Structure 1
Amino acid sequence: MRNDKLFFSFFPLALVFSLFFLGCSPSGSVGKPCEVSFSWWGNESRNQYTIEGIKLFEKENPSVKVLPIHESWEEYEKNFEKKLLSGNCADVMQVNFDWLHKYSGDGLGFYDMGSLDEYIDLYNFTMDDLSFGTMKGRLNAIPISFNTAIPVYDKKVLDELALDIPSTWDELFNLAKMLKKKDMCVFTMSNRHLFFLAVAWFEQTYSKKVFTEQGRLDISLEEIGLIFDFVKRLVSENVVYSPTKGIRIAALRERKVIGAVLWCSESSLILTEAKALGGNGVLGNFITTPGARESGWYLKPASMYAIKKDTEHPKEAAMLVNYLLNSQDFALLQKNEKGVPISNKSLTALMEKGQLESMQYTALMKIRFNSAAINPMIPIMEDSQLITAFSSEVFAYLDGGKSKNEAAEEFWKFVNLRK
């Protein structure tokens, strides 16, 4: 298991080394002219700055031609497994954290970038950073940034109610009680974050983890039922708005909610909405049960870069990975769009140019200052199929389509009996 205290204690020292070695990136031609493919997902804005960055990389490395492969998230996720298993994936690819465990449990699904340290400035990352991408001793992927679910509020409404930002579940439900008088809820959120919120409550309240490290449920059917009942309470007592429809940022504009639970990399969405309404978007606290022995909150890489396991051009692929992660030029193009970068060289570039005055950066600092209260995410918790199964069963219970025991049993079977 990852050591969070080690992760945070390494940060200042690693930053010093990155500043000292600022000009030590490998650059220039490595060998004969070749083509390296690179795949990523995202909106058109991400596509545009990535293409611009690729052109700069090619200018610096004229022997390397980059073949860009850009898709929407939906397309990328749908096509990834088929491309990877058929050997038709890109030489360099953006990957999700849980894909390492899904496709490289033996550590052999992706290239070992630890053997390419001549071309990738690994000193910009702590050992703990790299542990997220290490499978069976092989460095399969390197994180771009970190993410955790976090509550965000329009503080203007809290001030009007003379209430502080909630720190405990009781305070959260008290806030919801006050908002109910105004026909408002506390949060809009995705089904994924609804699941995370329920897990946090259960683990804190019962001092027991929901999942094993191997990704199996470590709780009984009765305990699954307790989680389902807590979701029911979140909905019935106006904590969560319209859960079956997922997150709706517009609900803030419509005065249906005063905040959201979302990824810290997305937190500025609430800031923008709150400002448009004359409010003040602020980060919330990691809600806890007083005296809890389990934190219930989890940290994960927002996304990562990996190299094809049998690429014909490992050195050139490594040079591209190094550019994407550690180039100050690319950092200034990307800014915080994929979250605040954890590469100390990229972070330094943004700090020097004043590009870190954002809620995302504040969220990163909040993560660092609350390191003891955030666990490394168990990969199964990122599995989209698991989130779909949980949502389907809990909503079937809430809607009366299934009994609590029936829904809990179906969810247990999905997680523990699937291959």
Structure 2
Amino acid sequence: MTGKYILSAAATAFLLTTTAASAVELRMSWWGGDSRHAATQEALKICGEKHGHTIKPEFTGWKGHLAKVTTQIAGGTEADIMQINWPWLPLFSASGDGFADLNQLSGTLQLDNWTDAQLASTSIGGKLNGLPLSTTGRTFFFNKATFDKAGLAVPSNWAELFAAGPALKAKLGDGYYPMNAIKETAALLVSLYVTQQTGKDLVDPETGQVAWTADELAAGIDFYGKMVAEGVVMSQKDVAAAGNVRLYENPKWADGEIAGSYEWDSTFFKYSDPLGEGQELVPVKLLMTDGAVTEGIYRKPSMMFSISKHSANPEAAAQILNCLLNEEEGIAALGTTRGLPASSAAATQLKDGGSIRPELAEANALVMAATGPTVSPLNEHPEVRSAFLDTLEEYSYGQINPLAAANQIIGDVNNTLSEFN
């Protein structure tokens, strides 16, 4: 045996030893339906084989998943990689220390596939708690056929929307409205107006309390009241009298009598599919007034992948995470089972491959291009949302004026936020 051969054999043995040592067993948990379960298991198999790791899948439906993850995290027994709902961030990581800081794994994770704004939305205290899987936001959908029928352009600002209210009624009938604004949609329209006027999200990131003054919020509530009074939207009373039918199940929506709404871009087909023959839904940029300081986009991660701070193998977990979201094989396997991907590498690959319908891509492009402050996940705390919905209902029935409503909302929301300060 020559010296050269001995050296080669030793080197080979060393490589095999180090490769075997680097191969680890990981766990990954998520919720979803059958298509997501199948795609994710296939992606884990592919990425595991590519990087030399074995990943045990742990999946459930939506119901009960939060309770399961809460119990695991409390006991330090959570999976290495977890699918986490964005509003859960304050519950599990109020100070940013609840998950591994993915900034520390930037040598493995291709973080440049996300914008700074996207990464900020899943960061707390400067610590990156997860990678957004898809980014969604509220934008306007209008039924172009209704406006065409009335000889009107689709609204491009608030003034045109207000003008369309009486114009549609005059030309098509009293039952026509250019906009929908009920319950959550009404509350988010109020928030949109206030954010546009102030440049501030509801939650002040420095104080952890409501960032808006009572007068600022009252102006938003009054704005909603004018929408009702001037025939831009149906009143809560009229909607209740009609049975509180969900918009996408409402015949007035299908027939084009209600000709617009403010919805998540990712739900475009949920609202376009029920439209009758000849109707045409189009996504539109956020409406603004001349005095607005920002578009006020309500943009958020639909969900994220996080790595456990207790993981014994965070680098291996990061390899799998990067494969799922940024590498060709993982991207192809996951597809659109978690929406239009936030990773630019994944979005480009799937768009080029024809996996993403152009209407959805157009709506998402509007969301991604819009400006606005980073939205706190505490906006979606159940008690915060309830404070808005309950008080706006009182206001809609004339039981409270805009300023009193604003003070009541701010007081209730601050009480909830104080639990996280």
C-alpha contact (below 8 Å) 1:265/1:338 kept by paired residues: no
Spell out the pairing of 1:76-87 with structure 2 (5 A cutoff): 76-77=65-66, 80-87=69-76
Match of 2:343 in 1: 343
Structure 1 unaligned blocks of 5 or more: 1-27
Residues in 2 aligned to 1:256 and 1:380: alpha-carbon distance in whole angstroms? 35
**Structure 2 CA distance for partners of 1:104 and 1:229, relative to 1, 3 Å:** same
State the AA in 1 paired with 2:27. V
State the AA in 2 paired with 1:345. A
Match of 1:194 in 2: 186
Residues in 2 aligned to 1:78 and 1:172: alpha-carbon distance in whole angstroms? 43
Match of 1:144 in 2: 133
C-alpha contact (below 8 Å) 1:91/1:317 kept by paired residues: yes
Residues in 2 aligned to 1:202 and 1:331: alpha-carbon distance in whole angstroms? 38
State the AA in 2 paired with 1:289. T
Match of 1:172 in 2: 161
C-alpha contact (below 8 Å) 1:154/1:279 kept by paired residues: yes
Match of 1:289 in 2: 289
**Structure 2 CA distance for partners of 1:93 and 1:55, relative to 1, 3 Å:** same
Aligned partner of 1:391 among 364, 389, 397: 389
Spell out the pairing of 1:222-233 with structure 2 (5 A cutoff): 222-233=215-226
Match of 2:233 in 1: 239
Residues in 1 aligned to 2:182 and 2:338: alpha-carbon distance in whole angstroms? 19
State the AA in 2 paired with 1:239. V
Give the stretch that moved more between structures: 238-247 or 185-194.
Answer: 238-247
- The Cα of 1:288 is off from its aligned counterpart by 0.4
Deviations 1:22-70 (A, max 9, x none): xxxxxx9773552413223x34433343333334334445641322222
- The Cα of 1:263 is off from its aligned counterpart by 1.1
Match of 2:58 in 1: 68
C-alpha contact (below 8 Å) 1:91/1:308 kept by paired residues: yes
Residues in 2 aligned to 1:223 and 1:339: alpha-carbon distance in whole angstroms? 35
Match of 1:15 in 2: none
* Pairs aligned (count): 387
- The Cα of 1:366 is off from its aligned counterpart by 2.3
Match of 1:352 in 2: 352
Spell out the pairing of 1:29-178 with structure 2 (5 A cutoff): 31-40=22-31, 42-60=32-50, 63-72=53-62, 75-77=64-66, 80-178=69-167
**Structure 2 CA distance for partners of 1:164 and 1:134, relative to 1, 3 Å:** same
TM-score normalised per structure 1: 0.79
RMSD: 3.2
Residues in 1 aligned to 2:132 and 2:159: alpha-carbon distance in whole angstroms? 36
Match of 2:248 in 1: 249
Structure 1 vs Structure 2: percent identity of aligned residues? Answer: 23
Aligned partner of 2:210 among 214, 217, 241: 217
Deviations 1:326-361 (A, max 9, x none): 132343344445343232321232133123442221
Residues in 2 aligned to 1:396 and 1:80: alpha-carbon distance in whole angstroms? 36
**Structure 2 CA distance for partners of 1:61 and 1:294, relative to 1, 3 Å:** closer
Give the stretch that moved more between structures: 198-207 or 342-351.
Answer: 198-207
Residues in 2 aligned to 1:191 and 1:82: alpha-carbon distance in whole angstroms? 33
- The Cα of 1:154 is off from its aligned counterpart by 2.0
Deviations 1:292-327 (A, max 9, x none): 224333322232111111123323322332232113
- The Cα of 1:163 is off from its aligned counterpart by 1.2
Structure 2 unaligned blocks of 5 or more: 1-18
Match of 1:272 in 2: 273
Match of 2:262 in 1: 261
- The Cα of 1:206 is off from its aligned counterpart by 6.3
Q: Secondary structure at the match of 1:260?
A: strand
Give the stretch that moved more between structures: 223-232 or 287-296.
Answer: 223-232
Q: Secondary structure at the match of 1:375?
A: coil
Larger radius of gyration: 2
TM-score normalised per structure 2: 0.79
Q: Secondary structure at the match of 2:279?
A: coil
Match of 1:184 in 2: 176
Match of 2:362 in 1: 362
Residues in 2 aligned to 1:88 and 1:410: alpha-carbon distance in whole angstroms? 41
